[in-house]
Amino acid sequence: MVKCALCVHLIYSDIVQRSREELKAIRETNPGLKPTLAIIQVCLCIGLNVMQICLPRQCTEEEVSDAANSEKQIRVSFLSKSVRNAIKPQKDVDGIYFFCNTPLDAPLIGKMAVLVGVEGPLKATLQFLLQNNGMMVQTCQWSSKHLQKQFLGVVCYFQQQRAMLLCFRRDIWIDHRSDIEISRAQTPKPISQLAQEVGLLPEELEAYGNTKAKVHLSLLNRLQHQPNGKYVLVAGITPTPLGEGKSTVTIGLVQALSAHLKLNSFACLRQPSQGPTFGVKGGAAGGGYAQVIPMEEFNLHLTGDIHAITAANNLVAAAIDARILHEATQSDKALYSRLVPSVNGVRCFSPIQMARLQRLGINKSDPSDLTPEEVRAFVRLDLDPEKVTWQRVIDTNDRFLRKITVGQANTEKGNARQTQFDIAVASEIMAILALTDGLADMRARLGRMVVGSSRNGQPITADDLGVTGALAVLMKDAIKPTLMQTLEGTPVFVHAGPFANIAHGNSSVLADKLALKLVGEEGFVVTEAGFGADIGMEKFFNIKCRTSGLKPDVVVLVATVRALKMHGGGPNVTAGVPLPKEYISENLQLVADGCSNLKKQIQIAHLFGVPVVVALNAFKTDTQAEIDLVCRIAEASGASAAVQCHHWSRGGRGSVELAQAVKKVASQKNYFQFLYNLQKIRTIAQKVYGADDIELSPEAQAKIDYYNQQGFGALPICMAKTHLSLSHMPEKKGVPTGFILPIRDIRASIGAGFIYPLVGTMSTMPGLPTRPCFYDIDLDPVTEEIKGLF
Amino acid sequence: MVKCALCVHLIYSDIVQRSREELKAIRETNPGLKPTLAIIQVCLCIGLNVMQICLPRQCTEEEVSDAANSEKQIRVSFLSKSVRNAIKPQKDVDGIYFFCNTPLDAPLIGKMAVLVGVEGPLKATLQFLLQNNGMMVQTCQWSSKHLQKQFLGVVCYFQQQRAMLLCFRRDIWIDHRSDIEISRAQTPKPISQLAQEVGLLPEELEAYGNTKAKVHLSLLNRLQHQPNGKYVLVAGITPTPLGEGKSTVTIGLVQALSAHLKLNSFACLRQPSQGPTFGVKGGAAGGGYAQVIPMEEFNLHLTGDIHAITAANNLVAAAIDARILHEATQSDKALYSRLVPSVNGVRCFSPIQMARLQRLGINKSDPSDLTPEEVRAFVRLDLDPEKVTWQRVIDTNDRFLRKITVGQANTEKGNARQTQFDIAVASEIMAILALTDGLADMRARLGRMVVGSSRNGQPITADDLGVTGALAVLMKDAIKPTLMQTLEGTPVFVHAGPFANIAHGNSSVLADKLALKLVGEEGFVVTEAGFGADIGMEKFFNIKCRTSGLKPDVVVLVATVRALKMHGGGPNVTAGVPLPKEYISENLQLVADGCSNLKKQIQIAHLFGVPVVVALNAFKTDTQAEIDLVCRIAEASGASAAVQCHHWSRGGRGSVELAQAVKKVASQKNYFQFLYNLQKIRTIAQKVYGADDIELSPEAQAKIDYYNQQGFGALPICMAKTHLSLSHMPEKKGVPTGFILPIRDIRASIGAGFIYPLVGTMSTMPGLPTRPCFYDIDLDPVTEEIKGLF
């Protein structure tokens, strides 16, 4: 709860409930006085600097003006002691603001509609808001309804029993609310309204409740002649436990572009895994005044895409083991008669079986024509249980599934084997969802997924298992991006969220393409890459852009003073323990040293020919000298601009400077290029990570030979490296040099379409901490409100 | 495809494509003739008895009439040979019907709107249909838009390329289409329209696309003073591989009640598991002309409830193993400081931790006040890994997960243990969803779930793990029933689908309660119990009704002549092999013998004081003598009525007689009673199954003692017995006698609120066959149509 809003609420309750007789006496002295006026007066008494006023409709402007300017009839002493204690002014409340918290059912308070001391545009806007039942209508260029940029912080909500209107001005807004409280305090626009504002047709929308909707891909066809907007990637310096805030920068930037620069803009974000939601705190919806709402929907089931991926992935896994069992326990003939049964006396191959026959070089369509050898080749995938690479997945942090033995029941007749579960977002199907450009392409990629090798070394695909169509059916809704909105009512696509490690860690190509059409030529699409720029951005360029054919215009590189200090050699931090003083007081030397990492990441972007704007995500503890130093070094390192941002505390208004810089840089010509012409692990290691060379393990070398032999050699590279350092050593901060990058093994996502070298070890299944955050998550069974979710 | 619709299509294509010149010649002879008229004429030639005619708008009624009555200019010989072969009249097409299949983009064919030879009401209805873009508007009493009952079979759809209008009359409708083709041929009403028709307010609805919506539980509050409608349970005789058709009877019955008797009625169905959808053919949406549409939505993700259950179930599982690991590797002090951390210098217990302290008898609220012994009791659940009863679940038929070893990675430090996955619908959370009466109750039940025992024998609950609130959050949307519709546009709730074996196999109490309010006092709610009446109905009465407090009015007991023959000693059947002749030709002796099972099931219903209507689900191969025999025996056995039904082939019209019988019986007074006053396994075994006695294994006896000692002795019983026989021996058909029912073990679903004795062995994880039906399932990437799903 906002401290000061709470104060007003307490004062109000105290006045209304405690003092009918006293209030009556006061009213007799001053007939125009109403409880709300009394609140204003008490607020003034306790030092709350009232700037604008919203009052009940039945007051005239004159009455209000009189009351506000009159002698203060109601003093703090009028309030009960407990309230007086509660409303002691806060030291850090140093801005000019106002709010008014009125129960809608209070007899004296009607619909708030009279605004005093408010300039014309704001007044009109607020009146509009009120007439529209308190719904927030801040929108962008697509519609005519947007708030004036000097008054950005209108937060207005009508809940079951209460109406609250908060307006604030200037840049100061001190708030102690949690992300979920801020999210819930905002009533989202109906998703159909947002869709209409951005130019979607009703038939292109599939609502999932009132705050989420899937968007049909037919839009791409309808807008095929519309030029694309500008394409902005938000990337970060090498991550530290202190966090950098790429998601909040992304959202703050679109809020600033939309609501303040009046440019159409869309944020394209990844759907977060549910695993961390219940494990270690940290949402993916942004935070503070730069987040996607409702954040609980964003962080929970959303529209079920990850569940669909889980179902599809595990159907493949079940098909693999069942097939191994069936082949181990049946003759060729029995397999053939079951795989190609006689239905009403007719035997025929299904289309997916015809495809397998073609791959086997058998050009026959009548099942009775096959020779015994051909039957054997057809019915036996002959999967080597030791060489099954497909894993089951689950969207839960379940560490006990990292290594398991399956098939131990008697019914499986001794076919037990060791395998593992990965977190669902690590599924190749997630990577495919993120890279596909449509239903037909997705279906084809799903069929190409290699799930293991036969005993004679041939790759076995999902298509060989006969499961391609079923996978496409399971994924038919997941392929449509989900439309949501930011806290300021600007549009967001949430779609796909592949692991940034063994996959490429970027949201979907389809969402970006839809958004680029919707914003139009002058508009902006801002998307985010996982991890640091050396990983997420490199994969964005080399894998995502290679697949989509889209060219980025600007990279926004996010840094914080704190994280730079850690790269400069600052001490380690531990969760739950207060931050070492280096991070909360000025230390220019650490900042300067840490900027080596920032500089290196800028250089990496320049390798691809894309200009960089550095966004310094400012914290209260940063000093001006520190901020200036970072900006100076960033510009000296080749950044086109370097600006500080305050979106977390101020929403879009806090990112206007960033938005202006991005707009300016995006209008300049750039020369995007891929870093390598495929299959160049060494190029990435040397040019991006700064390694002296790479070292291939025997397994890795064997895999390279095998993949080349299978014709997969032309696929792009998706490095699976720790995100905590530019090197393979997580503890090496800043810009490590003089190291050899070891390639432990090389794996392939043939359906998604990339090869992923494993650099060192990494876990694809997070664990739960001793006190998982589910301890704090609960639901009020009456109001249905969720508590404790971030 | 309907055989005859196919004919017309072939004729049409042949005429239009083959014969521009010939057609031109014919037209010159007869200027009014159009291709559609030619079709009618050819239809008449080949013996298709055209009854009503729909024609392009540009034809006048006179033109059409003339063409139909004129000399037949076009003869069959005019058609190509392949078409002539294809359209040979079917012997079993013996009704009077009409249809017209026209490509919408055919130049000569506009929107069909002229109807010839049609009586007033039908004509008006069809015109309305056409004006409304072919949408089916057959509704029930709730709205004024319903079709005349004599014309029930209007199936009208406009697809991308084609429009088809099928109308038929009388009781004859021969159709060779698959369930999914029938489902897709019908355009569902917009779900918002259906909701409005049944009296839901817009704010009580949460759309999931246009054909599904979740309904808010607040409705129960709004309609709290509304009297309940009649409550009808559909149960079956002991199942056989031949199927009985409970779901189709359920849907046919509501279609008949709604559209034909003009009574408000609701079907309440279970959500099917996705496992069988991709394993062994057989949907749960009903079939033929008695099904829920769109059936692919029904059978796939629906609104994600099962996915939510999977996520919640597996979060508990992950929490259990992680907790065992953390307790094994940390001191009391370390555990305590992590479980109750200092946040900004303050340590406090969360509400869920306070609840655990209370259960431990520790009445302290300041973490620093606990003694070391109390800290130890608080931080150590001391779960015995051997006594963890909670299993992971997955909604896939994955037999290799029936018995597995988890925790084999080095990170789990030797804490490997053997466990298993169940199919998701077997989760206790599913049983809770089905039995709960609201959010608060669900949260409480989730917290009470016993997941295992401590080393000193105390039950450990989900609440002890701290996970209750998170589970409630994951389940917050799943608790709302999903509204869908039947093929005739009547309302259906789909909600919960617990395993009928280790759980109670009935759809949700909440859906029934909502529906009973919505239909009103004169209306009907028809719900279905899994398996045979000895299992599903017994559990419906003793568990579901005990929990809900609702009293059933009528039991509809479903039987088929074929299944009764098998109970009477008929030979076994094998999938894919033609049926033995006993099942396709008359055999009165087998029928008479098999009616013993029917009689026993009627008697079971009477034990509970509920009257029975027998619904004989008729097949084409049943003879009138067989049908009469079953009805005679059923009535002699005490059934209030026994009627044959033809809903599969005729929709609601085929179940009107059943609907009338149900309506009549429901209006009579009945004397519903529970069979036992809890904890009476022997009562069920003797009175329901007909066993001489029960025999408890030592494990079962020990469990009874343990559960009594833990205070769980008062919970109702959920027998986990084979559904294929009244006894525990699946091969014993009819009414087995003279057997002792062995109770192998007894388990408990404390959260759901029942004890389940295990009678013999059973699998909670189905497998995939050699040729799973996913081979036939596919998606057209262009039209997005699903193929091969049932």
CA distance B25 to B21: 6
Per the CB < 8 Å rule, is A398 touching B775?
A: no
B chain contacts of residue A340, beta-carbon cutoff 8 Å: 771
B chain contacts of residue A217, beta-carbon cutoff 8 Å: none
Q: What is the mean pLDDT of residues B486-508?
A: 90
In chain B, domain spans? 1-166, 180-303+477-667, 307-474, 680-758
The reported pLDDT for the residue numbered A501 is 76
C-alpha radius of gyration, chain A, whole number: 30
The reported pLDDT for the residue numbered B787 is 62
Q: Find which of B192, B338, B779, B785 to mutate to test the A interface (most A CBs within 10 Å of its CB).
A: B779
Which residue out of B145, B169, B222, B281 is catalytically annotated? Answer: B281
For residue range B256-272, list pLDDT tens digits in order: 999 889 999 999 999 98
Which residue out of A500, A659, A661, A685 is catalytically annotated? Answer: A500
Sign of CA dihedral A165, A170, A175, A180: positive
The reported pLDDT for the residue numbered B74 is 53
For residue range A584-640, list pLDDT tens digits in order: 899 999 999 999 999 999 999 999 999 999 999 998 889 999 999 999 999 999 999
C-alpha radius of gyration, chain B, whole number: 30
For residue range A454-501, list pLDDT tens digits in order: 999 889 999 999 999 889 989 999 999 999 999 889 999 999 998 887
Is the pLDDT confidence value at A570 over 50?
yes
A chain contacts of residue B763, beta-carbon cutoff 8 Å: 411
Q: Is there a catalytic annotation at residue B246?
A: yes
Is the pLDDT confidence value at B408 over 80?
yes
Distance from CA of B326 to the nearest CA of A (A): 6
CA distance B316 to B383: 13
Lowest mean pLDDT among A73-87, B189-203, B715-729: A73-87
The reported pLDDT for the residue numbered B40 is 53
The reported pLDDT for the residue numbered B526 is 97
Give residue A430's pLDDT band: very low, low, confident or very high (50, 70, 90): very high
Residue B326 near residue B382, CB atoms below 8 Å:
no
The three-state secondary structure class of A163 is strand
Q: What is the mean pLDDT of residues B411-435?
A: 92
DSSP H stretches of helix in A568-608: 588-607
Q: Which residues of B133-157 are buried (b: 16+ CB within 10 A; e: fewer)?
A: ebbbbbbbbbbebbbeeebbbbbbb
* Mean of pLDDT over chain A: 78
For residue range B579-620, list pLDDT tens digits in order: 888 998 999 999 999 999 999 999 999 999 999 999 999 988
DSSP B272: P
Distance from CA of A203 to the nearest CA of B (A): 10
CA distance A720 to A761: 9
Task: Tell whether domain B307-474 is in CATH 3.30.1510.10.
Answer: yes
Q: How many CB pairs under 8 A join A and B?
A: 285
CA distance A21 to A39: 17
Give residue A729's pLDDT band: very low, low, confident or very high (50, 70, 90): confident
Strand partners, A235: A557
Q: What is the mean pLDDT of residues A737-762?
A: 85
Q: Using DSSP, how many helices (H) and how many strands (E) does chain B show?
A: 29, 32
For residue range B736-780, list pLDDT tens digits in order: 989 989 888 888 888 888 888 888 776 667 766 766 766 666 667
Residue A592 vs residues A587, A615, B68, B170: alpha-carbon distances, Å = 9, 16, 93, 88
Give residue A531's pLDDT band: very low, low, confident or very high (50, 70, 90): confident
Strands of the B459-461 sheet, one edge to the other? B383-388, B450-454, B459-461
Instruction: Select the residue of B351, B403, B786 nearest A473 (Cβ to Cβ).
Output: B786
The nearest alpha carbon in chain B to A466 belongs to B775
Q: Name which residue leads in pLDDT, A517 or B413.
A: A517
CA distance A540 to A548: 10
Residue B743 near residue B759, CB atoms below 8 Å:
yes
Q: Is there a catalytic annotation at residue A790?
A: no
CB count within 10 Å of CB A22 equals: 12
Q: Name which residue leads in pLDDT, B106 or B667.
A: B667
The three-point CA angle B503-B504-B509 to 5° equals: 125
Is the pLDDT confidence value at B698 over 80?
yes
The reported pLDDT for the residue numbered A630 is 96
The nearest alpha carbon in chain A to B210 belongs to A206
The reported pLDDT for the residue numbered A764 is 66
Per the CB < 8 Å rule, is A768 touching B319?
A: yes
Q: Using DSSP, how many helices (H) and how many strands (E) does chain A show?
A: 29, 32
Any idea how long chain A is?
Answer: 790
| DSSP H or E run through B641 | strand B641-645
For residue range A270-302, list pLDDT tens digits in order: 998 888 778 775 566 777 788 898 888 898 899
Say what angle helices A3-18 and A35-45 make with each other, to 10 degrees: 130
Is the pLDDT confidence value at B280 over 80?
no
Instruction: Select the residue of B315, B352, B440 nearest A396 (Cβ to Cβ).
Output: B315
* Mean of pLDDT over chain B: 78
A chain contacts of residue B577, beta-carbon cutoff 8 Å: none
B chain contacts of residue A341, beta-carbon cutoff 8 Å: 576, 771
Q: Which of A502, A558, A501, A484 is nearest to A528 (CA)?
A: A558
The nearest alpha carbon in chain A to B783 belongs to A439
| CA count, 13 A, side-chain hemisphere, B330 | 22
* CATH fold for domain A680-758: Formyltetrahydrofolate synthetase; domain 3 (3.10.410)
What is the pTM for the complete model shown? 0.78
Is the pLDDT confidence value at B668 over 80?
yes
Residue A172 near residue A465, CB atoms below 8 Å:
no
CA distance A622 to B663: 77
Phi, psi of A369 (to 5 degrees): -85, -15
Q: Which of B741, B678, B739, B675 is nearest to B704 (CA)?
A: B678
For residue range B49-93, list pLDDT tens digits in order: 333 333 333 344 455 455 555 554 455 555 666 555 554 433 322
Q: Which of B541, B536, B542, B544 is nearest to B510 (CA)?
A: B544
Is the pLDDT confidence value at B165 over 90?
no
Strands of the B417-419 sheet, one edge to the other? A417-419, A404-406, B404-406, B417-419
Per the CB < 8 Å rule, is B404 touching A400?
A: no
Per the CB < 8 Å rule, is A321 touching B399?
A: yes
For residue range A99-109, list pLDDT tens digits in order: 333 332 222 22
Per the CB < 8 Å rule, is B778 touching A470?
A: yes
Distance from CA of A689 to the nearest CA of B (A): 29
Q: Is there a catalytic annotation at residue B531?
A: yes
Residue B405 near residue B421, CB atoms below 8 Å:
no
Q: Which of B538, B554, B537, B552 is nearest to B639 (CA)?
A: B554
Structural tokens at position B125: 């209805």
Which residue out of A648, A739, A754, A790 is catalytically annotated? Answer: A648
Options 3.40.50.300, 3.30.930.10, 3.30.413.10, 3.40.190.10; CATH for A180-303+477-667 is: 3.40.50.300
Instruction: Select the residue of B296, B350, B399 nearest A322 (Cβ to Cβ).
Output: B399
Q: Is there a catalytic annotation at residue B333?
A: no
Q: Which of A165, A171, A95, A108 is nearest to A136 (CA)?
A: A165
Per the CB < 8 Å rule, is B439 touching A335?
A: no
Lowest mean pLDDT among A740-754, B9-23, B775-789: B9-23
Q: Find which of B300, B400, B415 to mutate to test the A interface (most A CBs within 10 Å of its CB).
A: B400
